[in-house]
Structure 1
Amino acid sequence: MTTSLARRRTTAAALGLASALVLAACANPTDGGTTEVAATSGARTRINLGPDQDRVTTGKVDSIAAEVPEKIRRRGTLELVASSGSAAPLTFYATDNKTVIGVEPDLAYLVADVLGLKADIHTVSWENIFVGLDSAKYDAGFSNITVTEERKEKYDFATYREDNLAFEAKKGSGLKVTGPADVAGRTVAVGSGTNQEKLLVEWSKENEKAGRKPVDIKYYQNDSDTYLALQSGRIDLYLGPNPTAAYHAATTAKTEVVGTYSGAGATLQGLIAATTKKDSGLVKPLADALDHVIGNGTYAKVLQRWGLSDEAVTKSQINPPGLPRTNK
C-alpha cells in the first residue's frame, strides 16, 4: 500500500491514548467504567473500561488451524506478547488493574479463535517483546508493532492496521506540524526504540542538513512524566501513536493533536502487524486468520468498539514494504 502521504488527519477519528491512570479518571463508576470518544467523523462510541469485556468472538476454521506449526497445535495455546507500556485504546489495564484490554488484545483473541487456540497474553517492556520472540518464549507480538525494513531481517509480519503517528501539544499552543521544519529547534518527547523515534531522528538530521536547528529529543519513563512535562512547558511536543494521542486529547481536553504522519514516512503508508520470529511457520496462518475475520465482519466490530475504524485494512499482507532504513 503506497500513497503520497504524510496523511494529515486533522480530526483524529482513530482515537487514542491515555495511560491506565488517565482512563480510570475518565471512567464512570456508575456504568461499570466507560468513556466516550469519537469513532468516526460526527459519531461517538462508548468504550468499556471494565474487566468484563464481552469481547467479539468468532469460530474456529479447521483449514486455517491446520496451518499452525504442530508444536503450537499440540500445546493448545497461542503465546502472545504486548507492551506493558502501551495505553488506551491499544493495550492497557481495565478498571480492576489486572485484566488486559484494548484493540490489540481483542484482535489477538479473535485470531486465536480462528486458529482454535487459547490466547495467553503476556505484557512486558517494549524491548522484551523482541527478546521473547527471538527466544521463542512468545509466538507472536500484537503490540502496535510497525513493519520496518530493519525488523524484516529478523521477523515476519502479518498486517492488520494502518500505522499513523501524531504530534501532541498543550491545548492552545498554536503549533502545527506538517514536516521537519516545523520541529526544528523544538523540544519533542518520544518513546525509545520506537519507529516514531526513528522518524524524529531522521527529521532532526534533515533539519541540520538544511541549516536549521536539530530537534531536542527527550525521553521519559512513562506517559505520566511525559504529559507533566508537556503541561509544564518543559517540552513542546510529544510524538506517539495517533490512536493513543487522540484518545488522550479527547478524554482530558488538556492537549491537542497538531499534526499526523504515516509511520513509514512521506511516501509509504505505515502498517501495524502481528510479529513472529522469522521462518517460524506462523505468519501465514496469522495472515489467513486475519483475512478471515476481515471477511466475516468481526474485525470491523473490534475496531469500531475501540474507535479505530479509520485504521482498518482490507487485507492482511505478509512482509509488505516497511519503514525504510533512512526514512526518506
Structure 2
Amino acid sequence: MHATARRARVLPALVLLPALAGLVAACGTDPSDGTAGDRPPAAAPATGAGPNLGPDQNRIRAEKVPAIAAEVPAAVAADGALTVGFSADGAPPLAFPATDDTTLIGVETDIAQLVADVLGLRLDARTSSWENLFLAAKSGKYEAVLNNVTVTEERKDVYDFATYRVDQLAWQVPETSPIKSITKPADIAGLRVSVGAGTNQEKILLDWDRQNRAAGRKPAEIQYYQKYGDVLLALKSGRIQAYFGPNPTIAYNIAVSGGSRVAGTYSGAGPDLQGLIAAMTKKGNGLVKPINEALNTVIANGRYLEVLKRWGLANEAVPKSQINPPGLPRQAA
C-alpha cells in the first residue's frame, strides 16, 4: 500500500503573467444549501487576445416570440425588463467586465440577452457577490440568475431551473506533455496535479486517488494554488503535470494564450450523472417555463450555438433545455 499522497498548499507566485487572461475556477460553496457550486475566484484582467473583449459587443440577438412572451408573469413584465443576476467576481468566458471595466460581457450575458429578446424584454444585468446571487433570487430581487449555476437536489428545494449548458470539467496539460489522455483514475497515478480546494473536481480527484491507492498504484501529488494564473505558471515550469478544472476556464485560456491542451473531459457531477448548468429563478414564481421555452427557441434556430461557438464552448451545448432535471445528489448530513 502506498503512503497517502502529499498535498502541498502552494502560496501564490509573486510574479505577473504576461498576456494572461483572467479566467474562472468552478465550484465554490453555495451558502444556501452547503453543496458545491460554481463560484468564480478573483482573477487577472483579460488582455484583448482572442474573442472581442470590448464594450461594443454586437451581440447575437433573437426575435420576440409573442406566444412565449405572453407567459411571462405580469409582475416580471410590468417594467419591460428581465432583471438577471451575475457574479461581480466573474471572469472570462462566463460573465466578466469588458475592457471599459463597466460593460458586462461573456457567454452567460449573451445567453441572457437571447432569453430576454424572445420574451420581449430588455436585459437588465445586475452584479453582486456569489453568495448574494442566491439570496437575491430567493427574495425575487433578481428575476433570474445565469451564472454557471449547477443544478443540485438541495437547490431545487428553493429554486426552479431551466438548463442551458453541460457542467464539464477538463484536464489541462502543457502542449508538449507526453500525457496522451486523462479519463480514469489510473491515468493520474504518480502525477503532480493541481485542483481547486473545496470544489466538485477536488472531490472527484481525491476519490480517484483513493481508488489508485486501494489498487496499489502510486498516489498523486496534489498541489493547491489560490489563483488560476499560479496554476498556469506551475504547468509551464513543470511543478505540476496537469490541472483539473472547469472546462470554460481551460477552453478560454487555450484560445487566448495557447501553450497547453485538453487531455480529457469529465462530467462535473461525477461518473454517474451529467451535471447541468441552468438559469435559476425563485421557486414557483412562474418564470421558469417561459425561460425554458425561450432557450429551446434559440437552441432550435441556431442562435444559441452561435453564442457558444463565439466563446469556445460548443462542446457544452445541450440538445434541449429541461426544467428541474435530476441534479447533483444531496450531501450527507
Partner residue of 1:162 out of 156, 162, 166: 166
Deviation at 1:286, TM superposition (A): 1.0
Measure, in 2, the Cα distance between the counterparts of 1:269 and 1:262: 5
Deviations 1:214-270 (CA, angstroms, capped at 9, x unpaired): 7736251x3323333443445443322213202212322233222211222224333
Change (3 A) 1:67 1:258: same
Residues 65-144 of structure 1 aligned to structure 2 (within 5 Å): 65-144=69-148
Task: Determine helix, strand or coil for the equivalent of 1:107.
Answer: helix
Whole-angstrom distance in 2 between the partners of 1:260 and 1:62: 39
The correspondence for 1:146, drawn from 147, 150, 164, is 150
Distance 1:128 1:219, change over 3 A: farther
* Alignment of 1:290 onto 2:289: no
- 3-state secondary structure, aligned to 2:47: helix
Secondary structure of 1:75's aligned partner: coil
TM-score, normalised by the number of residues in structure 2: 0.75
Mapped partners of 2:254, 2:46: distance in 1:
15
What is the CA deviation profile of residues 110-152 of structure 1, one whole-angstrom value per residue up to 9, with x for unaligned ones?
A: 1011222222223334333323323333222212222233433
Matched, 1:320 2:325: yes
Asked if 1:19 is matched to 2:22, the reply is yes
Could you tell me how far apart the structure 2 residues matched to 1:249 and 1:19 are? Answer: 12
Note the C-alpha offset of 1:53: 0.7
TM alignment of 1:198-217, pairs within 5 A = 198-207=203-212, 210=215, 213=219, 216=222
Which of these residues, 311, 318, 323, is aligned with residue 306 of structure 1? Answer: 311
Cα deviation code 1:169-191 (max 9, x no counterpart): 34434334212333456554444
Which structure 2 residues correspond to residues 170-189 of structure 1 after superposition, within 5 A?
A: 170-175=174-179, 176-184=181-189, 186=191, 188-189=193-194
Residue of 38, 47, 54 corresponding to 1:50: 54
For residue 232 of structure 2, what is the aligned residue in structure 1? 227
Q: Partners of 1:294 and 1:170 in 2: how far apart?
A: 34
Q: Which amino acid aligns with 2:22?
A: S
Amino acid at match of 1:25: T
Task: Flag structure 2 segments of 5+ consecutive residues without an equivalent.
Answer: 1-19, 24-42
Conserved? CA contact 2:255–2:312, under 8 Å = no
Distance 1:68 1:294 in 2: 19
The two structures have a TM-score, normalised by structure 1, of: 0.76
CA contact (8 A) 2:94 2:148 kept: yes
Deviations 1:259-306 (A, max 9, x none): 211222224333221122332322111101111222233223222322
Cα distance in 2 between the residues matched to 1:193 and 1:76: 40
Paired residues in the alignment total 292
1 CA distance for matches of 2:198 and 2:131?
Answer: 8
Matched-pair identity in % = 56
Distance 1:67 1:207, change over 3 A: farther
Comparing 276-285 with 100-109, greater Cα deviation is found at 276-285
- State which drifts further: 310-319 or 104-113: 310-319
**Structure 1 pair 192/100, CA: closer, same or farther in 2 (3 Å)?**
farther
Partner residue in 2 for 1:253: 258
> Separation in 2 of the partners of 1:233 and 1:210?
27
Give 1 or 2 for the bigger CA radius of gyration: 2
> In structure 1, what is the equivalent of residue 32 of structure 2?
none
